Every structure is written in C-alpha cells, then in structure tokens.
Amino acid sequence: MNYYNEIKNKIIDNEIYSRVKDYSKERHKVVTYFEIGKLLNEAGGKYGDNIIDEYSKKLVTEVGKKYNRRTLFRMKQFYNMFKDEKVSTLWTQLTWSHLRLLFNLEIDSINYYIQIIIDNHLSVRELEFKIKSNEYERLPIETKNKLIVDDKIEVKDLVPNPIIIRNRNNIEIINEKALHHLILEDIESFMKELGNSFSFIGSEYKIKIGDRNHYIDLLLFNIKYNCYVVVELKVTEFKVEYISQVQKYMNYIDKNIKEVSNNDTIGIIICKRENKFVIEYCSDERIAVRVYELV
C-alpha cells in the first residue's frame, strides 16, 4: 500500500466534501481523520516514526499548510486513543475541536465528557471550562464506579465535590445570605455546575409547617430525573442537624408540591467543610453533602 497517496486522497476528498455538504462536514472530517490516523499508525510501524515528518512536508506543499506535522501527529494520537473498545463509540457525534480537548485525558474521563457533550450540547468553550475545572475529577468515587460499569445514575451522583462557585468580584462570604446572593448573581452557571437539566423554581422558597414559616434557600427541579431538588446553603462545617432540616423540607415538598408523576424529592447540602464522621453515620441516601469552593 502507498500510505502517502492514500492519506493525501482522503484529505483532498474531505476538503471537497466540506465545501459541498455543510450539514455533515464535521462528522465526515472526524471519520476521515480517524482513518488517516490509522494509516499513519500502520505506516509508522512499517517505516518508522519519522514518516510523519516526511508526509507532513509533502502535504504542506501539495495540499495546504494546515496539514503540518502537528496536525498529522494529532490524527495518529486520535486513532490510538479511540481504537480502544473501552472508549465510547459516540465520538463520531463530536466535532474535531471538541475531540482535541480530550486527547490528553484518561479513558474514563474521556467517556464522561463525550456523554455530557452530547447530552447537553456543550460548546467547545463550555467543554474547555469543565475540563479546566476538573469536573470529572470532582465527582464522588461511587459515581465514577457507576459510570465505569454503566450502573444506574441518580441526580445527586453527578453533583461534583467541591462545587465551584464563581466569585468574580471577590465578595467576602461571611454568612449564608452573602453566599446566597453570590449564587443568584449567576444562577445559570450554578445550576450547570450541579449537573444536568436543572431548572430554577425559587429562592428563599416559602413553606408553612404548622404555624411557622420556613424558607428553602433554593428550590430547583431536575427535568431529566423528574424530581424537585432542595438546596440548603451553609458557611460552616457540616453538622448533623442540617440533615434533619433538609429532610423536613423534602418531606414537605413530597407531600404538598410534587405531582404523582414526579419522583421523590432529593436534597443537596452545600457547606464550607465536610465532617466525614458525621456524614458516614448520619447520612440520608436522598441527600448529597458537598463543599463549595470560590473561584
């Protein structure tokens, strides 16, 4: 096989295709680059790794400057990464710009990001932010294990720890009210940080239990998991009484707000510091306890 001619023909075919069929040009590019990566890998095994240098010099002259050594190396890297059966086959639905951001990640995190790109229609910029903020690394160990074995995922499983809260103006957080206001300033970003498909119901959501009014810091609804989500904010170390407080709010929502078709309400307690001993012995499987980090 003449590897160089095969690679050159695929590149030229892709250049022509990208000008004619706009609706599917990205998928065609990704598949073409994967095929070229396979050819480069085989050619390297037969003629040595320097074959990329040789091919890139000729392609730059004969086809275009963008097919330089770095680009060919990326194609080979792309093939070697995604030929593994452990990596999701959904990569064909991504753009080349998305894929380039995944090249230096581990297999399990690659699969995670591929899935959320597709589920949430992430832009390249949004994906870049999630990778830079180590979203996958911040998932609980139990969640990562579920993702690896394709076990059932619940809404609280995907809430990262710590939760990143943007504090662009370096506001001093001295009480729950200040933290609350900071979150509300960019509530959309906060909900995306929590995970998939959250929508906003209310802030300081008023409920009445007996003859007393209570106020839920944030009441959200998760569309994908069809359930209400009670969020309680604390600027102290986690305490056992926070569990009973959120349980009370969740029970109220389940009894008075949610529809029969909704799943049971879940809770998220966001605090300054964890207390793993309290969490271990006083936890409720319906409630996720997470710390927050200001950036």
Is residue 140 a part of any domain in this protein? no
SS3 for 198? strand
For residues 87 and 179, state if they share a domain.
no
For residues 102 and 237, state if they share a domain.
no
Asked if residue 285 has pLDDT above 80, the reply is yes
Residue 270: give its domain's CATH number: 3.40.1350.10
Q: How confident is the model at residue 283 (pLDDT cuts 50, 70, 90)?
A: confident
Tokens of 166: 């943007």
| pLDDT at res. 172 | 82
For residues 44 and 109, state if they share a domain.
yes
Average pLDDT, stretch 236-246? Answer: 92
For residues 128 and 151, state if they share a domain.
no
**Rg of the chain over all Cα atoms, to the nearest angstrom:** 25
Q: Quote the pTM value.
A: 0.82
Strand runs labelled E in 125-253: 163-165, 198-209, 212-222, 227-233
Is residue 139 a part of any domain in this protein? no
Asked if residue 250 has pLDDT above 60, the reply is yes
For residues 61 and 186, state if they share a domain.
no
The tally of domains found in the chain comes to 2
Q: How confident is the model at residue 259 (pLDDT cuts 50, 70, 90)?
A: very high
For residues 122 and 177, state if they share a domain.
no
For residues 246 and 281, state if they share a domain.
yes
Residues 13 and 11: their CA atoms lie apart, in Å, by 5
Last residue within a domain, chosen from 100, 132, 164: 132
What pLDDT digit, counting tens, does each position of 65-92 carry?
999 999 999 999 999 999 987 788 889 8
Lowest mean pLDDT among 10-14, 84-88, 206-210: 84-88
Is residue 201 a part of any domain in this protein? yes
For residues 287 and 152, state if they share a domain.
yes
Domain, as residue range, for 191: 147-294
Asked if residue 280 has pLDDT above 70, the reply is no
Asked if residue 254 has pLDDT above 90, the reply is yes
Last residue within a domain, chosen from 132, 157, 182: 132
For residues 9 and 39, state if they share a domain.
yes
What is the side-by-side order of every strand in the sheet holding 163-165?
163-165, 287-294, 263-271, 227-233, 212-222, 198-209
